[in-house]
Amino acid sequence: MTPLIEVVTRAWKTSRTPQTMIAALLAWSITVAPAAFARGSAGAARVFAVVALLFGLAGPLFLSERRRIGRHIGITGFVVFAALTWGFSLPALHPMRLSPFRAAIGTLAWAIFALSWREVWPTPNAPREGEAQAAPLPPRSSLPFMSVPILTVSILATLALVLIAFRTREPERGLVAQAVTVAVGAALITAASSIATTLGKERVASGRRFTPVVVRALMVLVVVAVGGALYIMFRT
């Protein structure tokens, strides 16, 4: 028996592999297959849908031993081919044809798929790479002065973004605007809560500096902001 077949055989005996495969099959059969095999969908959509299913079912087989490969096949591959399927079956995904019930069930199915690929977090006592060199974080008894205003403003800004997205008139564009708003809102609140709790923390001198990572992030920001602004200015 080749090592690959051995890995697959061993994975099949665990309880997680069948669970993850069923979750992928569920998400595929509710959200991908109906779009791909609907009337008016392109032939490529059907091919991509079948490939997505193969990826979704093959990935969990590598869950126990070759986890990295399994994740690339089962998550990245599956999602990429599912997205390609949707891209080639746009008539079936028109908001007028979307059933709210199927949309709700589909959301649930993708949530189950995401949970099926869950990872057990390392225990707090497990030694982590680079921990020894990290700056010490002294404990505090209260939140920094600006924490609450920063979080409040961020939450209100997120709600405002949702309201702005509702201005969109076309249904397809509105769907994209809402999706963008949800993603942006999640990122905004996550970053704001991180800033709000980290703000004003006393650290040793080396703990907060313009490290190469920070300088790189700022440089990319300046280059993209200035370059994009100039391009927009000269284009119009």
Which spans of this chain sit near other proteins (rule: CB under 8 A)? 133-135, 137, 146, 150, 153-154, 157, 160-161, 164-165, 167-169, 173-174, 176-177, 180-181, 184, 187-188, 191-192, 194-195, 198-200, 202-203, 206-215, 217-218, 220-221, 224-225, 228-229, 232
In the bound state with other proteins, the residue whose beta carbon lies nearer, of 83 and 146, is 146
Q: How far is CA 188 from the centre of its chain?
A: 14
CA distance linking residue 155 with residue 101, whole number of Å: 29
Q: Are 89 and 45 in contact (CB under 8 A)?
A: yes
> Residue 112 or residue 162: which is nearer to other proteins going by CB?
162
Nearer Cβ to other proteins (30/155):
155
15 three-class SS = coil
Burial of 79 (0-12, 13-18, 19+ CB in 10 A): middle
How far apart are CB 104 and other proteins at their closest, in Å? 25
Cα distances from 201 to residues 84, 87, 144, 207, in angstroms, run 46, 47, 8, 10
Write down the H helix ranges in the chain. Answer: 3-13, 16-27, 33-36, 43-58, 67-71, 78-87, 100-116, 147-165, 171-198, 212-235
Taking the complex as a whole, the smallest distance from the CB of residue 171 to other proteins amounts, in Å, to 12
> Cβ(148)–Cβ(114) under 8 Å?
no
- The residue among 42 and 150 lying less far from other proteins, judged by its C-beta, is 150
Contacts of residue 87, defined as CB under 8 A and 6 or more positions apart, other chains included, come to 45
> Closest separation between CB of residue 16 and other proteins, Å?
33
Q: Which is nearer to other proteins, 1 or 232 (CB)?
A: 232
Cβ-based nearer residue to other proteins, 15 or 133: 133
* CA 227 – CA 236 distance, rounded (Å): 14
Provide the minimum distance between the beta carbon of 60 and other proteins in the complex, in angstroms, as a whole number.
Answer: 32
Measured from the CB atom, is 51 or 175 closer to other proteins? 175
Q: At what angle do helices 16-27 and 3-13 cross, to 10 degrees?
A: 90
Give the shortest CB-178-to-other proteins separation in angstroms. Answer: 10
- Angstrom CA distances, 34 to 1, 76, 125, 219, stand at 38, 21, 47, 45
* Shortest distance in whole angstroms from residue 149 CB to other proteins: 10
Closest approach of Cβ 54 to other proteins, in Å? 33
